[in-house]
């Protein structure tokens, strides 16, 4: 669930982006590009990611800016909120995801 501050921020976007008259309920943080996993990897990969997410309750982020992103294929455009992490949790997740990707010989996304 978004916090009250985040809901307020998303609601205020309506003044900046007239067509943004909704509040999404499916916010996420991308730690990887879209991945192609071998079928026999899926279950263990998903379990590893779940284990990683169980290691912390919350992520303390400071919203700083809005940015527009395109995927690598240039088939989708996304509005993103540029954030900085107020603690080391995000670094922990990125490092852990990169290690996991490396175990599967997959490319890391964030350096």
Domains contained in the chain, CATH given: 4-103 (3.90.1140.10)
Q: What is the largest CA-CA distance in the chain?
A: 47
Using CA atoms, how far residue 46 sits from 34, 35, 81, in Å, is 14, 12, 26
Provide the pLDDT for residue 78: 81
Q: What is the pTM of this model?
A: 0.65
Query: Contact, 7 vs 81, CB < 8 A?
Result: no
What average pLDDT does this structure show over 65-76? 84
> In this structure, what token pair is assigned to residue 111?
């350096």
User: Which secondary structure element, helix H or strand E, spans residue 45, and what is its range?
Assistant: helix 42-53
- Higher local confidence (pLDDT), 99 or 111: 99
For residue 83, count other CB atoms closer than 10 A to its CB: 15
Lowest mean pLDDT among 10-14, 26-30, 70-74: 10-14
């Amino acid at each position: 669930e978004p916090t009250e501050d985040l809901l307020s921020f998303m609601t205020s976007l309506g003044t900046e982006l007239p067509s943004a008259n909704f509040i999404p309920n499916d916010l996420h943080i991308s730690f990887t590009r879209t991945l192609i996993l071998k079928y026999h990897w899926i279950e263990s990969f998903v379990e590893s990611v779940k284990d990683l997410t169980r290691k912390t309750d919350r992520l303390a982020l400071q919203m700083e800016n809005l940015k527009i992103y395109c995927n690598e294929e240039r088939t989708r455009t996304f509005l993103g909120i540029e954030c900085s992490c107020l603690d080391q949790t995000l670094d922990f997740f990125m490092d852990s995801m990169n290690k996991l990707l490396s175990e599967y010989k997959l490319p890391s996304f964030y350096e």
